Chains A and B, each alone.
Chain A
Amino acid sequence: MRSERSRAAIAYGGLAAALLAAFTAALALGAVRIAPDRAFQALFPAPGSEPSPIAIIVGLRFARACLAAAVGASLAASGAVFQGLFRNPLADPYVIGSSGGAAFGAVCAIAFGSGVGALGFSGIGIAAFAGGLSATFVVYLVAGATRLRSDASSLLLAGTALGSLFSALVSIVLALKDKDLHQAWFWLLGGFSGRGLPELAAAAPAMVAGLAAALAGSRTLDLLSVGDEEAASLGLRPARARFAIGGFAALSVSAAVALSGAIGFVGLVCPHLARRLVGPNHLRLIPASALSGAVLLVIADTVARTAFAPIEMPVGAMTALIGAPFFIYKIARRGLEGSR
């Protein structure tokens, strides 16, 4: 027990250091070359002075690193929640339809006009948020109405089916409004271009609520991951717990997708990496997943901004490009230990 605790402490320390390093790299690197010392100076401008372009650039990079960290943390924590809820190592934050719904909302906003936005989100962002949430709601209605409702797979199946339905609707809208294909395509690939701290502030309450609910439900998640019958015998109502915890996670994911588009891979892989570091106990696993998600996405966004500057690459592609080889190497070495 003692050694497990110290192992977790070391893991958290390592992840925090990695996040700090990723942030430093994110501030120092970009399409414009800035010497590290000038970048550092720019962080602390003399009071009352006109902000220099460098200060603005460093400020922008900081905002983007915050966005990436928040989205990465939200996706990875929700990924850990869904993997636990469904006892399925392949579950990702999008299993209950959030990304499909958000994509449909965003594509409609791009194709048919989006207005100026609301609640701090852009027009596209608010459409994506609404789409993601309503998709989850529909999945709940469908799963709740079926006789399978106490089974984890009814949510999973309803989510998958609805995901396909939404991707069909997205293709139809894009075929009808195919002149907007470019914009929609890049939005769907995911990224942080054109978004800043105001949008993050808008999404933050939902993301924080999701994370808090996940932590509050971590004991329940531990019980559920043993099996529904065992959990029920310990006085838990599996279906109800699953709906509640999954609902908050979906809220957080919808906010993340509204911010950045559906960035893949982070939510699937980071929980597995975190599990190797701190073990399957959800109270430790969820924060560790969140931290590793933040690290991966901050690094991925930095690469996306700099690799082909001034052209930006889609962040979603970068997460997989960086994360997949690392993940495969880890599996090849020891297998998916403790993935359930």
Chain B
Amino acid sequence: MKRRILASLAILAAYGAFAQAGPSFEDGRGATITLPGKATRVVSLSPAITEILFAAGAGDSVVGVTTYCNYPAEAASRAKVGGFSAKTISLETVLALRPDLVIGEASAHGQLATQFERSGLRFAALDLTDFDSVYAAIGLAGRVAGDEGRSRELVASIRGKVAAVEAKTAGIPAERRPLVFWETWDEPLMSAGPKTFTGQVIESAGGRNCFADAATNWPVVSFEALLARDPDYIMAAESHGAALTMERLAKRAGWPSLKAVKAGRVVLLDGDIVSRAGPRFADAVELMAKALYPELF
């Protein structure tokens, strides 16, 4: 209770001290984060957030990123604070960068909140679970960067791209939409569930996710279930391409009898844009739709 009063007082004091008031927002945990002004030193804990910050014009204030933040190229020049999962984030590297804001993803980095707050850092955990949450995050990045016009334009252009793709396939009834199997891994055989970004990109591109009924995000699936569903397309990240050459597929037991393998319909896409909840997901939707409906584009 005492702490909460103190916190409220601190927030009030912050408001008073900076009459022009920096952005104040609620993050994915429901915590209210208030910045003293435009953020000038931001640490990003995920590749998607890094992409969002740069695209929204906040790139110059990004001082720390992860080892997986490879886009835009400029992001790779920033200090590295850790890898993909929360356990690999180095608190002392983050502290040494003296950030005025640390942004992570609620699902992956929410557990770090106490640590960051105890060290006196402002920490925002964003939900990046669906397209709308990406739009919201871009809007937020715009406010953090103090350039809301640019982020508004960016959101409008992404929405436009997605809408254009969806409009082209809107008239196609569900049962005539191609069935897509996304292969995350081959040994064991893993796919992508409906709640993953990849799963949503498939649906938005006018396909049907072969394992849309999976309860988990990265389900290990049985090949016989795949064979029974017999997808029209097999898709995967380019980085997994070596396992999906026609030669390798022919050697997998039972696979040559799959419709997609017989017709050679194996599509490889840049995994970074398909699975990342960043501003480039519209490109992923477009690329996938072009692969599924070459005649419409």
Contacts and interface: CB of A to CB of B under 8 A. Distances in A.
Interface of A: 30-32, 51, 53, 56-57, 59-61, 63, 113, 115-116, 122, 124-125, 175-176, 178-179, 181-183, 186-187, 191, 193-198, 305, 308-314
Contacts, number: 112
A30 B220 contact: no
B235 to A, nearest CB: 17
B223 interface: yes
A310 B84 contact: no
Nearest to A311: B219
A310 B225 contact: yes
A305 B87 CA distance: 32
A193 B257 contact: no
Interface in B170-193: 184-190
Interface stretch (B20-28, B111-119, B148-156, B209-217): B209-217
Contacts of B85: 178, 181
A115 B245 CA distance: 12
A183 B236 CA distance: 14
Contact of B224 (A60, A175, A179): A60
Nearest to B247: A116
A193 B83 contact: no
A57 B223 CA distance: 9
Interface in B224-243: 224-225, 227-228, 230, 242
Given A175-B87, A186-B188, A191 B68 contact: no
A29 to B, nearest CB: 11
B190 A183 contact: yes
Q: What are the 5 A-B residue pairs with the smallest beta carbon separation, nearest first?
A: A310-B225, A193-B188, A196-B253, A31-B225, A194-B187
Contact of A53 (B213, B227, B248, B251): B227
B221 interface: yes
B214 A311 contact: yes
Contacts of B88: 175, 178
A183 B252 CA distance: 18
Nearest to A61: B224
Given A60-B254, A187-B187, A178 B84 contact: yes
Given A175-B83, A178-B84, A310-B213, A196 B224 contact: no
Interface size classification for chain B = 35 or more
Contacts of B228: 31-32, 53, 57
Nearest to B82: A178
A196 B250 CA distance: 13
A195 B187 contact: yes
Contacts of B293: none
A107 to B, nearest CB: 13
Given A57-B224, A175-B88, A178-B88, A196 B252 contact: yes
A110 B270 CA distance: 19
Contacts of A191: 188, 220
Given A193-B189, A198-B251, A32 B223 contact: no
B47 to A, nearest CB: 9
Nearest to A183: B185
B218 interface: yes
A125 B252 CA distance: 14
A315 to B, nearest CB: 10
A193 B218 CA distance: 14
Nearest to B86: A178
A260 to B, nearest CB: 10
Contact of A179 (B84, B215, B257): B84
A134 to B, nearest CB: 21
Contacts of B253: 59-60, 63, 196-198
A198 B250 CA distance: 12
Contact of B242 (A116, A175, A314): A116
Nearest to B218: A182
Contacts of A176: 83
Contacts of A59: 253-254
A311 to B, nearest CB: 4
B257 A312 contact: no
11 contacts: A32-B228, A53-B230, A53-B257, A175-B83, A175-B87, A178-B88, A183-B185, A193-B221, A311-B216, A311-B221, A312-B222
A59 B252 CA distance: 13
A50 to B, nearest CB: 9
A187 B188 contact: yes
Given A196-B254, A310-B213, 17 more contacts: A31-B225, A32-B227, A56-B254, A56-B257, A63-B253, A175-B87, A176-B83, A179-B68, A183-B185, A186-B188, A193-B187, A193-B220, A194-B188, A194-B223, A310-B214, A311-B214, A312-B222
